[in-house]
Amino acid sequence: MGRLSALFDPETVAVVGATDRDGAVGRAIVENLRDEFVGEVVPINPKRDEILGLECYSAVSSAPPIDLAVVVVPPDIVIESIHDIAEAGTKNVVVITAGFSETGSEGAKRERRLREIATEYDLNVVGPNSLGIMSTPNDMNASFGPETALEGSISFMSQSGAFITAVLDWANEQEIGFQDVVSLGNKAVLDETDFIREWGADSETDVIIGYLEGIDNGDEFIRAARDVTDETPIVLVKSGRTDAGAQAASSHTGAIAGSERAYEAGLEQAGVIRANSVQELFDYARALSGLSEPDSDGVAVVTNAGGPGVLTTDAVGDVRLEMADFTDETIDALSEAMPDEANIYNPIDAIGDADADRFGEALDIALADPNVGSAVVVSAPTAVLEYDTLAETVIEKRAEHETPVVTCLMGGQRARAAEEVLREFGIPNYFDPARAVAGLDALARYRGIRDQTSEEPERFDVDRERAREILERAAGRDDNRLGVESMDLLEAYGIPTPDGEIVDDPERALEVAERIDGDVVMKIVSPDISHKSDIGGVKVGVADADVYDAYEDLVARARNYQPDATILGVQVQELVDLDVATETIVGMNRDPQFGPLLLFGLGGIFVEILEDTSVRVAPIGERDAREMIDEIRAAPLLRGARGREPADIEGVIETIQRLSQLVTDFPAILELDINPLVAGPDGVQAIDLRLTVDTETL
């Protein structure tokens, strides 16, 4: 256990604001604690000597030493109460009281004060606006929820108290148990990252699950979660996925919502398995808490019914798992053991007259196959199949082969007793084959996460000082939008750019053009003109003879378009052969929660119309950069589809990594787009650049 151990395993718990008034929250908490808690419960109320049969104290300072204080006093005296609690030496506080940042500026001020006290006294504070916390090993229900959790190995946090009460009532019916439960409330002090760290270090927690509407510090969360997922899987529902949902979440928590794409990338990079519904959350958690991960993605399906077998096979096709290819030995053994009418290829259909023994034989043979990493047992009720016996058979075979098995014993009442036995041995039973397969898939996904060694981003040798000078020079111009005139920023970070220069007279333009082999591209350079092409500010394939006139024409067009535009000059640039190269875009914008979000996609019309892009939270290493390319649908274009020569993909990967380093080194870069980054067979070149800089931060 980590630094929060006393929060979940206190010897004495004080309820500050305890009462015996009917319907009061302060009473509900005392009752919940009194009924079960193995430690001592100390009500605090200056007006009482005794509450619900327990000796009552006027203040924490006059009570015996308190390990955990649960605060339910009115909002205006919360700060004072916590001050007393802290002075008395108590380090762990759960603030139930609402009326903080969720209610407006007065509450927000109060919440800042709470944070200050917590820092001053080094307090662990849950809440405010929390339902409370629970821990099952010591039977502690320090909440005002109507239900107490059963004991188990799932630790559960929620940004919504109602979500906890809704889930517990259902989980108790399903006999799903928990280790610790935390209602995070407003997360003034302790947040999701703290509990992930705590439970990651807790040997009694097999799975961490949560309902979150936002993550406060994305960067820290990613680092903590990556560490924890080496040992403990994390499954989260992050709501506010859709635009309407994000708006609802923001009105519920008052937090500024980060973009869904940033959450998607950030949670993926953090190694979090994301669930989109309550059902998925528990379908995954049940598998992850009871079973080990499969060694491989091959699944064996054993059934007594063709139809459900086909449905299960479809479900396997929908996820990252695959139907295992049986070895010849397996086929021979099945052919020996099964009746003639059986299907001995995967899915194994042991046919309608199969009893538990025949299921057992088929499962035994399948689990011995080296291509089988996990199995699903799917059954329809028949006169000859005893579900209880089948459950015992599955438990036995799973243990013998040390291979994860889930079941889908279809039916209602008929399956209940078997389901209970299976649950005791960690085997989740699902009514729907698709859900059973989703449970196995969560296990396989977790194996992938656990096996992925964390990757330190490569530090390239760059000219950071020069980059700083370029950004400062731009900042000095009192304009936070930068363009091609800052291409040397990319050069300073080793990102190739075409040969060229920005010149401010036509003679010089000609000199540069003559130095460059072949025709050139000429572009007007002005911070006031962002869509250069639209005003005719770009000339492609200008021969040396035409450079002088082209210069004059470009400047005239810019002046004509906007007489007072600042014109920094004309860029004369090597012409890149687009017949053999592909235009891509590499960019970054900053997310309020996760920071620099890198984007990769094909350039031009592809990006705009097909939105075929991939994103990652920076900094990233080579593996993530490579995945960014693989994830876009049009990736085969870069790899050389239709007889084209493949583009320099390694060059694109390196450019993404160098950009990652640049935007990590300079938080002042708010947005940046290299569009296009042209990727040809012989290398990549950044052709155009736009960025926005926070001149204050520099």
Binding positions for a second copy, 125-184, rule CB under 8 A: 146-147, 158-163, 165-167, 169-174
Q: At what angle do helices 433-451 and 278-290 cross, to 10 degrees?
A: 60
Site for a second copy contains 96 (CB under 8 A):
no
For residue 150, the 8-state DSSP code is P
Nearest residue (CB) to a second copy, 37 versus 163: 163
- The nearer residue to a second copy, 307 or 667, going by C-beta atoms, is 307
Contacts of 578 (CB under 8 A, 6+ apart): 678
CB of 123 to a second copy, least distance (A): 26
Nearer to a second copy among residue 311 and residue 467 (C-beta)? 311
Which residue in the set 177, 352, 621, 640 belongs to the binding site for a second copy (CB under 8 A)? 352
For the CB of residue 22, give the shortest distance to a second copy in the complex, in Å: 10
Nearest to 487 by CA among 472, 470, 473, 503: 470
Asked if 140 contacts 33 with a C-beta cutoff of 8 angstroms, the reply is yes
Q: What contacts 24+ positions apart, CB below 8 Å, involve 341-349?
A: 343/306, 343/309, 346/299, 346/300, 346/301, 347/301, 347/302, 347/303, 347/309, 347/310, 347/312, 347/313, 347/323, 347/378, 348/300, 348/301, 348/302, 348/303, 348/309, 349/303, 349/304, 349/305, 349/306, 349/309
Choices 51-59, 216-224, 272-280, 552-560 (CB under 8 A): range interacting with a second copy: 272-280
Question: What does the alpha-carbon distance between residue 87 and residue 94 come to, in Å, rounded to a whole number?
Answer: 16
- Give the binding-site size for a second copy (rule: CB under 8 A): 90
Binding mask 196-235 for a second copy (x = CB under 8 A): ---------------x-x----------------------
420 binds a second copy (CB under 8 A): no
Point out which span in 274-282, 485-493, 585-593, 616-624 binds a second copy (CB under 8 A).
Answer: 274-282
Rounded to whole angstroms, the Cα distance separating 183 from 162 reads 9
CA pair distance 549, 236, nearest whole angstrom? 62
Q: Which of residues 653-672 bind a second copy (CB under 8 A)?
A: none
In whole angstroms, give the CA distance from residue 529 to residue 102: 43
Residue-by-residue DSSP string for 351-384: -TT--HHHHHHHHHHHHTSTT-SEEEEEE---TT
Give the shortest CB-384-to-a second copy separation in angstroms: 8
Taking the complex as a whole, the smallest distance from the CB of residue 295 to a second copy amounts, in Å, to 20
500 torsion bin: left (phi>0), alpha (psi -120 to 50), beta (else): left
One character per residue 430-459, x = contact with a second copy (rule: CB under 8 A): -xxxxx------------------------
* Closest to a second copy by CB, 47 or 642: 642
Q: Quick check: 23 binds a second copy (CB under 8 A)?
A: yes
Tell the residue number behind the tokens 């656990």, with chain if given: 450
Which one among 62, 119, 279, 562 touches a second copy, defined by CB under 8 A? 279
**Considering only residues 317, 448, 541, 667, which one is a binding residue for a second copy as defined by CB under 8 A?**
317
From the list 39, 177, 306, 426, which residue makes contact with a second copy (rule: CB under 8 A)? 306
Judged by CB under 8 A, the residue of 50, 76, 231, 314 near a second copy is 314
For a second copy, the binding residue among 1, 77, 108, 310 (CB under 8 A) is 310
> For residues 631-650, which are near a second copy according to CB under 8 A?
633-634, 636-637, 641-642
DSSP states of 514-525: HHSSS-EEEEEE
Using the minimum distance from each CB to a second copy, give the nearer residue, 347 or 506. Answer: 347
Please give the radius of gyration of the chain, using alpha carbons only, rounded to the nearest integer: 32
**Residue number with CB closer to a second copy (239 or 613):** 239
549 to 578: interface string for a second copy, x by CB under 8 A = ------------------------------
Site for a second copy in 581-610 (CB under 8 A): 605, 608-610
3-state secondary structure 26-94: HHHHHHHHHHHCCCEEEEECCCCCEECCEECECCHHHCCCCCEEEECCCHHHHHHHHHHHHHCCCCEEE
- Binding segment for a second copy among 12-20, 43-51, 72-80, 238-246 (CB under 8 A)? 238-246
Q: Which is nearer to a second copy, 59 or 319 (CB)?
A: 319
Question: Token digits for 446?
Answer: 């977790």
Could you tell me which of 93, 43, 44, 99 has the C-alpha nearest to residue 70?
Answer: 93
Query: Interaction with a second copy in 381-400: which residues (CB under 8 A)?
Result: 381-384
Question: If binding is defined by CB under 8 A, does position 308 make contact with a second copy?
Answer: yes
Burial readout 562-600 (b: 16 or more C-beta within 10 A, e: otherwise): eeebebbbbbbbbbbeeeebbbbbbbbbbbebbbbbbbb
Distances from the Cα of 460 to the Cαs of 27, 463, 468, 595, 621, in angstroms?
61, 10, 16, 21, 11
Chain CA centroid to CA 10, Å: 32
User: Residue 256, SS3?
Assistant: coil
In this chain, which of 35, 116, 318, 505 binds a second copy, going by CB under 8 A?
318
Closest CA to 126 of 70, 72, 75, 167: 70
To a second copy, the closest distance from the beta carbon of 335 in angstroms equals: 15
Q: Which is nearer to a second copy, 370 or 636 (CB)?
A: 636
For residue 91, which of 190, 228, 179 has the smallest C-alpha distance?
190
Site for a second copy in 53-72 (CB under 8 A): none
What residues between 454 and 513 interact with a second copy by CB under 8 A? none
If one asks whether residue 237 binds a second copy (CB under 8 A), the answer comes out as: yes
Name the segment binding a second copy (CB under 8 A); options: 86-94, 347-355, 495-503, 547-555.
Answer: 347-355
C-beta of 411 vs 494, nearer to a second copy: 411
Contact between 258 and a second copy per CB under 8 A: no
Rank residues 310 and 565 by Cβ distance to a second copy and give the closer one. Answer: 310
Residue 40 C-beta: closest distance to a second copy, Å: 26
Q: Which is nearer to a second copy, 32 or 486 (CB)?
A: 32
Closer to a second copy at the Cβ: 23 or 53? 23
Rounded CA separation 678/577 (Å): 9
